[in-house]
């Protein structure tokens, strides 16, 4: 019942858990003892969330390691200068600072005591009398090195020093039953778990497990045979069926497919895979208060998402959300962060997958920053400053029609290229479009405290023709090496021309990046409101419907094809029936043939016109929807916005379908008309038109 119903009291769950542990080779026992009210009732609201507790412990260890490392002082230290201040004044200042520090520490201690008082469970009138069962694992097998107490309801392990366990009456497993003879006044921390010690543990059944016996025998006698000769008790066979967990129960995880666990200021919601349509498997909500009313942070974990979404973090106070994705997305997105209040977006990418080495993009209403890794041109940072604070639009019918924000300045930074001289290796290239300038800063040379630089004032538009006119007065530079040669005019000309080309490429790249960011943003919104889950081909339970549906569609399609082949469509029947008993002659046949071809031609034209009319009407409605959202997009509710996104996606998909239908109709119209002509020529009733005698 425990495995099938997925519920049971502490003794039932301990027995099942010990059965599996024994089968896995552990030295495990069922414990009958006493525990606190919280452990007996499986109340974890006074317990800190285990994952957060382990993270705090890890951070503390890292801080201690850092402090220890920082305390290591080299023997080569600079002596401090002599202090001419008054020692009496320093002593008085230290006394005052120590006094203030003590006051602060006292306040912190009082606050800590107040918090501990709030977090302390209420008084239990039955303290020490509540019976509980858990699992004991003794060292010796499977590399277990210390005593482990395992709570069956949570699976959390602890040591005997855990104050929640108050005492032990007895333990047992498949070999024997042991009664505890020790005093449990101090809980379980002082107990000896050497169950072979008869002064501490009294076994109920005579004898002891054979693997405890050490028999000294001759070389021709097996120790096992000696033990079997002394055996006087056979344990009865188990009356329980083999412990099997049905696959559907294993997939369901919890009795109803979901479970809620409340910790101290943390609520954990667990869900079975595929239970929710968005693939959510866990939601961890951190609250500010103990009543779970004011959420601070929400952590959501997902599985089996087609968009590879793995984790979603919502910061309620800052109104910020962060999405993390596994590798495999077409856009190589790794992490996406959005702050709703200021419109700031941050996207991290798997740079090894992208052709441009882009690792991170940060965009807000006034600027954009791109970070790159492992590029051949050594570019690692591009910063763009826009004029004004115009936000990017959320929705557009076409990305090519996006109104790009005017660029004020572009700054590109490069890593050092050791193959060329530092005075020729560009470190920073600044395109100041507002001032019409290009500023270049080169890398620092070895042992240099200054770097060379060059400034170009862009020529007027009239001079920027196919053959650029170079004016030496519009450029000046600084060389960190006083012995370097002055660059020639032709070198400066080619450098200016290269910078102008790089500026044009950078501007084009900024437009493309804006389009890409908006495209990714729109895709993420669509995936958020309409999530899709992927099902493994090996998942028989969830693929049965798809398999049966596919077979049914194949059967219907096969039957339809057979019917179309077997049924011969007569295109002339509707025309010949009007002749009645009149015999079909050459002129009647010619008129019928011409009328059949004309009617079919009109049919093709009308069909194309209908598709075109639907396309124009849907496109007009879509433009109307876009204008409506542009005008009142900030004043609609979240539900209306979701409906708008679904409607826009549906209309865009319908437009694409109509476009494909219209193009296919145009491609097949002529061939279908010629096929009808060929069919009329082969029809026996039209043979009078093609006979040689006529």
pLDDT of amino acid 97: 92
Distance separating alpha carbons of residues 476 and 469, to the nearest angstrom? 17
Lowest mean pLDDT among 31-45, 131-145, 316-330, 379-393: 379-393
Output the pLDDT for position 395: 44
Q: Looking at 43-52, 68-77, 225-234, 398-407, which range is the least confident one?
A: 68-77
So what's the pLDDT on residue 401?
43
Q: Would you say residue 94 has pLDDT above 50? A: yes
Token code pair at residue 602? 């009109």
The band of 582, judged by pLDDT with boundaries at 50, 70 and 90, is low
pLDDT at 690 (0 to 100): 72
The pLDDT value given to residue 399: 44
Is the confidence at residue 650, as pLDDT, over 80?
A: yes
Is the pLDDT assigned to residue 62 strictly greater than 70? no
Banded model confidence at residue 503, pLDDT cuts 50, 70, 90 = very high
Chain segment 374-405, per-residue pLDDT in tens: 999 999 999 999 987 766 655 443 444 446 78
Predicted confidence band of residue 272 (pLDDT cuts 50, 70, 90): very high
Maximum Cα–Cα distance across the chain: 139
Question: What average pLDDT does range 52-81 have in this prediction?
Answer: 60
The residue among 412 and 630 whose pLDDT is bigger is: 412
If you average pLDDT over residues 129-158, what whole number do you get?
93
The residue-averaged pLDDT of 275-294 equals 92
What pLDDT was estimated at residue 58? Answer: 53
Give the model's pLDDT for residue 398.
43
- What residues contact residue 618 under an 8 Å CB cut-off, 6+ apart? 651, 654, 655, 658
What local confidence, expressed as pLDDT, does residue 566 receive?
A: 47
Of 27-31, 183-187, 672-676, minimum mean pLDDT range? 672-676
Which residues fall within 8 angstroms of residue 439, CB to CB, at 6 or more apart? 428, 429, 430, 432, 453, 454, 455, 456
Q: Output the average pLDDT for the chain.
A: 85
DSSP readout, 78-120? PPPPPP-S-HHHHHHHHHHHHHHHHHHHHHHHHHHHHHHHHHS
Report whether pLDDT(524) > 60.
Answer: yes
Q: pLDDT digit string (tens) for 603-640?
A: 999 999 999 999 999 999 888 888 888 777 667 777 88
Distance CA 538, CA 547 (A): 12
At residue 564, the pLDDT reads: 57
Residue range 176-190: average pLDDT? 92
Is 257 within 8 Å of 22 (Cβ atoms)? no
Rounded mean pLDDT of 303-310? 94
Q: Is the whole model's pTM more than 0.75, yes or no?
A: no
Query: Cα-Cα-Cα-Cα dihedral of 322, 284, 316, 58, to 10°?
Result: -70
In angstroms, the Cα distances linking 439 to 295, 316, 421, 458, 500 are 49, 43, 19, 11, 12
Tokens linked to 598 = 């004309």
Say whether pLDDT at 692 is over 80: no
Distances (CA, A) of 35 to 12, 29, 121: 17, 17, 14
Residue 568 has pLDDT above 80, yes or no: no
Q: What is the DSSP letter of 434?
A: T
Highest mean pLDDT pick, 192-206, 209-223, 539-553: 192-206
Q: What is the pLDDT of residue 227?
A: 64
- The more confident residue out of 256 and 541 is 256
What distances in angstroms separate CA 133 from CA 5, 16, 47, 246, one per listed residue?
Answer: 20, 12, 19, 26
| Residue 129 clears pLDDT 90, i.e. is over it | yes
* CA 388 to chain centroid: 34
673 confidence band (pLDDT: 50, 70, 90): confident
pLDDT score recorded for residue 452: 92
The predicted-structure confidence for 441-500, as pLDDT tens digits, reads as follows 999 988 888 999 999 998 876 666 556 677 788 898 998 888 888 888 888 888 988 999
Backbone angles phi, psi at 549, to 5 degrees: -65, -40
């Amino acid at each position: 019942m425990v495995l099938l119903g997925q519920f049971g009291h502490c003794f039932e769950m301990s027995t099942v858990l010990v059965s599996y542990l024994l089968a896995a080779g552990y030295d495990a026992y069922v414990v009958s003892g006493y525990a606190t009210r919280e452990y007996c009732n499986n109340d974890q609201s006074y317990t800190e969330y285990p994952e957060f507790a382990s993270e705090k412990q890890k951070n503390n260890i890292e801080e201690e390691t850092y402090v220890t490392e920082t305390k290591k002082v080299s023997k080569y230290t600079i002596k401090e200068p002599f202090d001419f201040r008054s020692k009496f004044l320093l002593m008085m200042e230290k006394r005052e600072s120590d006094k203030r520090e003590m006051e602060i520490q006292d306040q912190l201690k009082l606050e800590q005591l107040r918090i501990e008082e709030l977090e302390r469970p209420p008084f239990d009138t039955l303290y020490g009398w509540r019976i509980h069962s858990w699992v004991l694992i003794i060292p010796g097998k499977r590399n277990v090195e210390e005593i482990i107490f395992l709570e069956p309801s949570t699976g959390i392990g602890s040591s005997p020093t855990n104050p929640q366990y108050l005492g032990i009456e007895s333990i047992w497993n498949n070999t024997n039953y042991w009664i505890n003879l020790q005093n449990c006044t101090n809980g379980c921390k002082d107990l000896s778990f050497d169950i072979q010690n008869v002064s501490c543990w009294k076994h109920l059944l005579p004898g002891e497990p054979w693997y405890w016996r050490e028999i000294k025998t001759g070389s021709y006698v097996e120790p096992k045979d000696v033990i079997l000769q002394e055996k006087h008790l056979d344990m009865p066979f188990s009356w329980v069926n083999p412990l099997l967990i049905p696959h559907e129960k294993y997939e369901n995880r919890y009795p109803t497919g979901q479970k809620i666990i409340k910790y101290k200021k943390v609520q954990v919601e667990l869900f079975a895979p595929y239970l929710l349509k968005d693939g959510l498997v866990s939601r961890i909500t951190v609250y500010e208060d103990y009543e779970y009313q004011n959420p601070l942070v929400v952590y959501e974990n997902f599985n089996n998402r087609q968009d590879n979404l793995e984790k979603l973090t919502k910061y309620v106070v800052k109104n910020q959300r962060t999405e993390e994705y596994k590798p495999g997305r077409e856009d190589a997105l790794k992490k996406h962060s959005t702050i709703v209040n200021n419109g700031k977006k941050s996207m991290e990418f798997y740079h090894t997958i992208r052709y441009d080495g882009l690792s991170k993009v940060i965009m807000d209403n006034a600027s954009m920053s791109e970070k790159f890794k492992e590029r051949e041109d050594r570019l690692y940072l591009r910063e763009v400053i826009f004029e004004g604070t115009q936000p990017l639009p959320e929705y557009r019918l076409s990305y090519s029609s996006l109104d790009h924000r005017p660029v004020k300045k572009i700054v590109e930074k490069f890593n050092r290229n050791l193959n060329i001289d530092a005075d020729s290796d560009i470190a920073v290239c600044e395109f100041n479009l507002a001032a019409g300038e290009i500023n270049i800063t080169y890398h620092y040379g070895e042992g240099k405290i200054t770097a060379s630089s060059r400034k170009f004032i862009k020529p007027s538009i009239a001079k920027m023709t196919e053959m650029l006119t170079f004016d030496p007065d519009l450029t000046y530079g600084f060389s960190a090496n006083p012995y370097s040669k002055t660059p020639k005019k032709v070198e400066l000309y080619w450098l200016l021309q290269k910078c102008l080309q790089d500026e044009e490429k950078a501007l084009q790249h900024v437009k493309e990046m804006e389009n890409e960011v908006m495209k990714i943003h729109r895709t993420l919104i669509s995936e958020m409101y309409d999530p899709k889950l992927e099902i493994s081909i090996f998942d028989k339970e969830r693929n049965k419907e798809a398999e049966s549906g596919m077979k049914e569609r194949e059967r219907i399609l096969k039957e339809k094809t057979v019917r179309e082949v077997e049924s011969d469509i007569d295109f002339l029947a509707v025309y010949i029936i009007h002749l009645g008993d009149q015999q079909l002659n050459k002129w009647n046949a010619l008129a019928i043939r011409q009328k059949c071809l004309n009617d079919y031609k009109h049919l093709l034209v009308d069909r194309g016109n209908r598709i075109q009319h639907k396309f124009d009407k849907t496109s007009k409605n879509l433009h109307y929807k876009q204008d409506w959202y542009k005008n009142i997009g900030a004043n609609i509710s979240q539900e209306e916005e979701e409906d708008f996104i679904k409607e826009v996606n549906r209309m865009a998909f319908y437009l694409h379908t109509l476009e494909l239908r219209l193009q296919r109709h145009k491609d097949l119209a002529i061939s279908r008309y010629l096929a009808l002509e060929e069919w009329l020529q082969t029809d026996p009733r039209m043979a009078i038109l093609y006979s040689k005698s006529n």
